[in-house]
Chain A
Amino acid sequence: MDGPVPTASGTGLPGPPDSGGRLGGPGPGRSFLGRAEEYVIGALIAGLGVFVLFDTATIAVPGSSNAMGPRTFPYVVGAVLVGAGIAVLVATARGRVGAAEDGEDVDPNAGTDWRTVVQLVAVFLAHAWLIERIGWPLAITVLFAGAAWTLGARPWWRPVVVGLLLGLVLQAVFGTGLGLSLPVGWLEGVPLIDG
């Protein structure tokens, strides 16, 4: 973090051209796609339950004569999953759609911005892939800067500088200071960073 920043200058730019492909329209849950999503989730939960019930049958039961083996509890959990999944499907069909969680920073009138979600996931995957190749401090810089840029930080170099500083400080505190073995990668041999 670069400390307290005056409100307007650093906050998400209201300017429409670079706000990251916002899709207009109603919030999720009410639209056709939101409904479809709701059914898919309910089906996935019930499906997971079915899988649990079948997979439980493959858990080996040792010969000892115990009151409750390793299968009983999974059977119960599988059954609850199936039941809950079906209950969700029924509730959705009856029009009782789950309300999306709101929060201070959630715009209740904004549609889902899938592009932002996909970009964040991509940045996160890049971070996981890069850790063992370029080291933790630089990989976390990629995550922080990529995420902040996706969410509207401009100009591009500002989140990069903030992310790099954050990565170096965290590496110095947790790696060098507390002894967590975070890989230093490309920064090998740098004093304070490579502990």
Chain B
Amino acid sequence: MADATAVLDGFANALQPMYLLYALLGVFVGTAVGVLPGIGPAMAVALLLPLTYELDVTAAMIVFAGIYYGGMYGGSTTSILLNTPGESASIVTAVEGNKMARTGRGAAALATAALGSFVAGTIGTLLLTLLAPVIADWAVQLGPADYVALMVVAFVTVGALLGSSVARGLASLALGLFVGLIGTDTLTGQQRFTFGVPLLADGVDVVVVAVGVFAVGEALHVASRLRHGPVEVIPVPRGWRSWMSRADWSRSWRPWLRGTAIGFPVGTIPAGGADVSTFLSYATEKRLAKGRHKDEFGNGAIEGVAGPEAANNAAAAGVLVPLLTLGLPTTATAAVMIAAFQTYGIQPGPLLFENQPVLVWTLVASLYIGNLMLLVFNLPLVGLWVKVLQIPRHYLYAGILTFAALGSYALNFSPVDLLLLLGIGLAGFFMRRHGYPAAPLVVGMILGPMAEEQVRRTLAISQGDLTALVTSPFAAVAYGLLSVLLGLALWARQRERRLNEKEPAVMS
């Protein structure tokens, strides 16, 4: 159980005016970034990594947590109001939400998305508060072989299950592992793949890789096939007090809760993150709908917005469980957040709760606070977000390149980093053109060196006996579960694919 005083201390800390301001900044930037097409939460955190060198670690984490939750809220606004699907996590919202907006019910769609996100985010954070300390307590007993098993699980699921092609996912993961190798080997002090370049002796900075793959790669990809012409936004009727009718409420609250119940567990296991949970929630709501409401699916059913949006945010909270308790990133955003911790010399994991209780609980408390702020922000300020949505695309992508360049240059004040950034950005560009997912690359780069270290520890303890890697009970169970998980996730993906085939009109 969580130590109640520690939790309360976290709240007292997070409620300090300065930290409240940082939380506000985080959710504001996060929502804006979520609304903006082309910028996902992973890119937003990556772009802001170097800009927080001046902040203390707690403030930085509060900002990142705000961006993380805010991005999830903002994405739904985009997919409901823009004629084209938004962030991957909320594409199913676009199916029903977009249809609702076209028939003049955009306000109800926005409201149920925001309220559902709030309900799910709050319940998810509550579950995180209760579960995380228990898992951390238990995880302290894990040995190095067990960590190797966990990382193998993460590698396989993130590498093989994200994206549409197993081969391309593994290729992306292997590229990330290779980039993680560049630099000086921590144990033996040998330089590996540095090609004699002094700047590479310290390894390639995670910031350069994350910003390169997400920001520069994405900007180049979009620029190469930019949709020209004005940005078409579906107008929303004014007056937010009358947004949801009584019928909308009664049709929404059950999907919110069901979405939460689906999203949180899916988020905690490395099974593809938020996307899978939204599709599962959507399929569930569609199956449970009766009569007239069932016919509305595909033409603007409010359940199809309420459920997936809740699932999306609950999954976002769920992802934080393995991130904080095991140091295991299961999504690209989580991987970049690990990088953020590492820039402060902090390694997330079971010891985090013992060594940095103030930081952890302030972070969790700020999630509750940020969630409330987001609700307040989203409903009345939708007019502002619509304006953000309409930023001319040439300025938007020029701005993304500008901040990417600033962030990388500020690392070492060396133009070499900019060349590295461009090179990685071009790699990201070609990966995007051919269906290579970007997340495994970042996860591989961050987890690779950690995995090598844990394998070494295992073998040092077992005196070179390789069987030690699988004979620990936990590791054995993990590898067993991995096979089950693979089967389950592939099944879920097939469902998702079938769903896509059934809704061919979605992308129009």
Assuming the A-B contacts A100-B435, A104-B85, are A128 and B419 also in contact, with contact meaning beta carbons closer than 8 angstroms in the complex? yes
- Within 8 Å of chain A (Cβ to Cβ): is B10? no
Given contacts A88-B168, A100-B435, contact A68 B390 (CB under 8 A): no
Which chain B residue lies CB-closest to A90? B167
Most buried by B among A27, A64, A100, A145: A100
Stretch at the interface among B185-193, B267-275, B372-380: B185-193
Distance in angstroms between the alpha carbons of A120 and B398 in the assembled complex: 9
Tell which of A110, A111, A153 touches B395, judged by Cβ atoms closer than 8 Å. Answer: A153
Shortest Cβ gap from B272 to chain A (Å): 16
* B409 / chain A contacts, CB cutoff of 8 Å: 131, 136, 182
- B187 near A70: Cβ-Cβ < 8 Å: yes
Least CB distance from B255 to A in Å reads: 25
- Please state if B230 and A8 are interface contacts (CB–CB under 8 Å): yes
Of B37, B174, B175, B177, the residue contacting A103 (CB under 8 A) is B37
Within 8 Å by CB of A105, from B37, B166, B401, B406, lies: B37
A41 within 8 A of B: yes
In chain A, positions 1-59 with a C-beta closer than 8 Å to chain B are 1-2, 4-5, 7-8, 10-14, 19, 27-29, 34, 37-38, 41-42, 45, 48-49, 52, 55-56, 59
A157 at the interface (CB under 8 A from B): no
Chain B contacts for A19, CB-based, 8 A: 228
A28 / chain B contacts, CB cutoff of 8 Å: 433-434
CB pair A148–B415 under 8 Å, yes or no, is: no
Which of B130-138, B286-294, B317-325, B453-461 is near enough to bind chain A? B453-461
Identify which of B167, B388, B406 contacts A140 (C-beta below 8 A). B406
Contact of A99 with B164 in the complex, beta carbons under 8 Å:
yes
Residues of B within 8 A of A96 (CB): 165
Minimum C-beta distance from B42 to chain A (A): 14
Which positions 30-54 of chain B face chain A at CB distance < 8 Å?
37-38, 51, 53-54
Do residues A67 and B459 form an inter-chain contact, with CB atoms below 8 A? yes
Contact with A along B68-98 (1 / 0, CB 8 A): 0000000000100010111000000000000
Q: Tell whether, in the assembled complex, residue B393 and residue A124 are in contact, meaning their CB atoms are under 8 Å apart.
A: no
Q: Which residues of B contact A5 (CB under 8 A)?
A: 390-392
Of the candidates A55, A70, A98, the one whose C-beta lies within 8 Å of that of B188 is A70
| Interface-central residue, B226, B388, B398, by most chain A CB under 10 Å | B398
Q: Are B398 and A148 in contact (CB under 8 A)?
A: yes
Query: Across the two chains, which residue of chain A brings its CB closest to B51?
Result: A174
Contact with B along A53-78 (1 / 0, CB 8 A): 00110011110101111100110010
> Which of the 9-residue segments B238-246, B424-432, B470-478 touches chain A?
B424-432
Residue pair B226, A80 in contact (C-beta under 8 Å): no
Task: Report the bound CA distance from A159 to B231 in whole Å.
Answer: 19
The reply on A112 being an interface residue by CB < 8 A is: yes
Q: A127–B399 contact, CB under 8 A?
A: no
Given A136-B409, A153-B395: A102 and B507 within 8 A (CB)? yes
Q: What chain A residues lie within 8 Å of B181 (beta carbons)?
A: 73-74, 77
Task: Bin chain B's interface residue count.
Answer: 35 or more
CB distance from A180 to the nearest CB of B (A): 5
Count contacts between A and B, CB distance < 8 Å: 293
Closest A residue to B94 by beta carbon equals: A104
Residue of B85, B174, B218, B401 near A84 (CB, 8 A) is B174
Q: Which residue of A lies closest to B195 (CB)?
A: A55
- Is A162 in the interface zone, CB < 8 Å from B? yes
Q: Given A99-B435, A101-B432, are A91 and B174 also a contact pair (CB < 8 Å)?
A: no
Also in contact, A48 and B185, with CB within 8 A (given A108-B507, A153-B394): no
A70→B86 contact, CB < 8 A: no
Question: Complex: how many Å from CA A117 to CA B174?
Answer: 26
Q: Are A61 and B188 in contact (CB under 8 A)?
A: yes
> Which of A62, A98, A136 is within 8 Å of B434, CB to CB?
A98
Tell me if B405 is interfacial: C-beta within 8 Å of chain A.
yes
Nearest CB on A from B213, distance (A): 12
Contact at A100–B84, with CB atoms within 8 Å? no
Q: Are B392 and A110 in contact, with the CB atoms below 8 A?
A: no
The answer to whether A192 has its CB under 8 Å from any CB of chain B is no
Residues of B within 8 A of A99 (CB): 164, 435
A87 vs B405: C-alpha distance in the bound complex, in angstroms?
Answer: 35
Query: What residue of chain A has the Cβ atom nearest to residue B217's Cβ?
Result: A101
Task: Report chain B residues within 8 Å CB of A37.
Answer: 430, 433-434
**Residue A113 is within 8 A (CB to CB) of chain B in the complex:** yes
Q: Which of A74, A84, A120, A182 makes the CB contact (< 8 A) with B167?
A: A84
| Residues of chain A with a CB closer than 8 A to B448's CB | 73, 77
Report the Cα distance A163→B395, complex, angstroms. 9
B227 within 8 A of A: yes
Q: Are A4 and B429 in contact (CB under 8 A)?
A: no
CB distance from B363 to the nearest CB of A (A): 23
Q: How far is the CA of A37 from the CA of B429 in the complex (A)?
A: 12
Chain A residues 140-192 with CB under 8 Å of chain B are: 140, 143-145, 147-153, 159, 162-163, 166, 170, 174, 178-183
On whether the beta carbons of B405 and A14 are closer than 8 Å, the reply is: no
- In the complex, are the beta carbons of A105 and B393 less than 8 A apart? yes
Interface core residue of B397, B399, B433 (most chain A CB under 10 Å): B433
B444 to A, closest residue via Cβ: A77
Select B410's contact among A52, A108, A174, beta carbons within 8 Å: A174
Alpha-carbon distance A128/B84, docked complex (angstroms):
35
Q: Are A68 and B456 in contact, with the CB atoms below 8 A? A: yes
In the assembled complex, the CB of B37 is this many whole angstroms from the nearest CB of chain A, namely 3
Min CB distance B180 to A, Å, is: 8
Q: How far is the CB of B429 from chain A (nearest CB, A)?
A: 7
B398 contacts A163, C-beta separation under 8 Å: yes
Decide yes or no: A106 and B222 within 8 Å by CB, A129-B415, A178-B54, A181-B413 being known contacts: yes
13 A-B pairs whose Cβ atoms sit less than 8 Å apart in the complex:
A14-B228, A14-B229, A38-B434, A61-B188, A83-B170, A84-B174, A105-B84, A121-B426, A127-B405, A132-B415, A140-B402, A178-B54, A179-B54
Interface contacts beyond A85-B171, A104-B78: sample of 8 additional A-B pairs, CB < 8 Å, sorted by A: A1-B399, A7-B233, A12-B394, A67-B463, A80-B177, A96-B165, A114-B224, A131-B415
